[in-house]
Copies of this chain bind each other. A is one copy, B any other.
Amino acid sequence: MKRIGLLTSGGDCQALNATMRGVVKGLANNVKDLEVYGFMDGYKGLIYSDFRMLTSRDFSGILTRGGTILGTSRQPFKQMRTPDANGLDKVEAMKHTYHKLRLDCLVILGGNGTQKTANLLREEGLNVLHLPKTIDNDIYGTDMTFGFYSAVNIAANTIDCIHTTASSHNRVFIVELMGHRAGWLTLYAGIASGADIILIPEIPYSLEHVIEAVERRRERGSGFTILAVAEGAIPADIAAMSKKEMKKAMAQITEEYPSISYKIAADIQKATGMEIRVTVPGHMQRGGSPCPYDRILSTRLGSECAQLILDEEYGYMVGLDGTEVKKVPLGEVAGKLKNVDPECQEIIDAKRMGISFGD
């Protein structure tokens, strides 16, 4: 007999349903009586005891379905210790729900912030397991997060489409991709679709070098240039400022422009006189059906998570290490971000081929 809780928290992404299916199918075949409680809209459901019991029917046919059957919401970790509007202690409320339902384990699907709260619940004595979800691939302790490759597919497909129109019109195109703090998605989509310039948060760019790269292509007879730009791309001069000044400088930009990409577009246009267009696929990147890579990863993470529950091993994130799924102590990874190392092999590979990072 096992009683488990499931919740999905933070920005949604592909393969959340596939992962939950993995957990539940992995248990259902190995446990006599299984009760699965699905908490609605992330930690909110746990706090306010909003849940429904899930049966195997709920997990049938959801391997390929995007979104999450449980709904999700953003519950900032910072506010977890703050009482809600009615004075409710959220952490106590979550513990209360957990104990009331006599759960054996709470399986939590989410990104960095979600992971921190999961770790907090672990410290509070609950049995938790965390499954690393995010299109950003920025979770420390796992080589890969589910959602990432589905988002790479959408982002790369966007650049592919832009490629044909850019080359027909001899234009400069900026494709702005998701990623405020980590550049994995932009880096991978940029390499996958042959972007000429890739700007990511981890490598502050010099506008001068970006313009040089555009000009160099024009001189060589390539009429068009494609830039893959992360939402969190940052000019080197601003990156060198103090945190306070940096915030101010970035705020100034977003006051004037919808996003950093539009500022870069304006600057390049001014410097080169070329026609520039900006495309922002936006939330599309976290939607739609998960790609087979993510479905396999999610299924395996979910199934291994089930084994941990069977073995009563709690307090871990279930991550990927090379080709193997491994458990990682939550206490060792919570709160850490996995950023792109500017000296990593992917960057060196890309630079060798002439891709500019604006540095």
Chain A residues in contact with chain B, CB under 8 A? 8, 11-12, 14, 16, 22, 25-26, 28-30, 41, 61, 63-68, 71-73, 143, 149, 152-154, 156-158, 160-165, 167-170, 173, 188-189, 191-194, 223, 258, 262, 277-288, 291-293, 295-296, 299-300, 303-304, 306-307, 321-325, 345-346, 349-350, 352-354
Q: Is the CB of A63 within 8 A of B194?
A: yes
CB distance from A136 to the nearest CB of B (A): 15
Q: Is the CB of B295 within 8 A of A168?
A: no
Q: Is the CB of A288 within 8 A of B161?
A: yes
Highest count of chain B CB atoms <10 Å: which of A11, A41, A281: A281
Residues of B within 8 A of A153 (CB): 291-292
> Which residue of chain B lies nearest to A326 when distances are taken between CB atoms in the complex?
B345
Give the number of copies in the complex.
Answer: 4
> Which residue of chain B lies nearest to A346 when distances are taken between CB atoms in the complex?
B300
CB distance from A356 to the nearest CB of B (A): 11
CB distance from A12 to the nearest CB of B (A): 4
Q: Is the CB of B165 within 8 A of A353?
A: no
Q: Is the CB of B165 within 8 A of A66?
A: yes
CB distance from A99 to the nearest CB of B (A): 28
Residues of B within 8 A of A63 (CB): 193-194
Q: Is the CB of B283 within 8 A of A349?
A: no
State in angstroms the CA–CA spacing of A299 and B191 once bound together.
8
Known pairs A11-B169, A303-B349 / 5 extra A-B pairs, C-beta < 8 Å: A29-B354, A161-B287, A161-B288, A162-B283, A191-B300
Residues of B within 8 A of A149 (CB): 292-293
> Which residue of chain B lies nearest to A223 when distances are taken between CB atoms in the complex?
B71
Q: Is the CB of B169 within 8 A of A72?
A: yes
CB distance from A83 to the nearest CB of B (A): 23
Q: Is the CB of B168 within 8 A of A296?
A: no
Q: Is the CB of A345 within 8 A of B322?
A: no
Q: Is the CB of A322 within 8 A of B143?
A: yes
User: Are A67 and B323 CB-contacts (below 8 A) given A295-B191, A296-B188, A353-B29?
Assistant: no
Residues of B within 8 A of A350 (CB): 299, 303
CB distance from A107 to the nearest CB of B (A): 15
Shortest Cβ-Cβ A-B pairs, 8 listed: A161-B287, A66-B164, A67-B164, A322-B322, A192-B292, A12-B168, A161-B288, A303-B349
Please name 19 pairs of A and B residues whose Cβ atoms are closer than 8 Å in the assembled complex, sorted by A: A11-B169, A12-B165, A66-B163, A67-B168, A71-B170, A71-B223, A143-B322, A157-B292, A165-B283, A188-B292, A189-B292, A192-B296, A193-B295, A278-B282, A280-B280, A281-B284, A299-B349, A303-B352, A307-B352
User: Are A192 and B67 CB-contacts (below 8 A) given A29-B352, A157-B288, A284-B161?
Assistant: no
Q: Is the CB of A12 within 8 A of B193?
A: no
User: Which of B12, B65, B169 is in CB contact (< 8 Å) with A169?
Assistant: B12
CB distance from A319 to the nearest CB of B (A): 13
> Which residue of chain B lies nearest to A279 when distances are taken between CB atoms in the complex?
B282
Q: Is the CB of B168 within 8 A of A71?
A: yes
Residues of B within 8 A of A164 (CB): 12, 14, 65-67, 287-288
Residues of B within 8 A of A30 (CB): 352
Residues of B within 8 A of A143 (CB): 322-323
User: Are A287 and B163 CB-contacts (below 8 A) given A192-B296, A354-B25?
Assistant: yes
Q: Is the CB of B299 within 8 A of A165?
A: no
Residues of B within 8 A of A296 (CB): 152, 188, 191-192
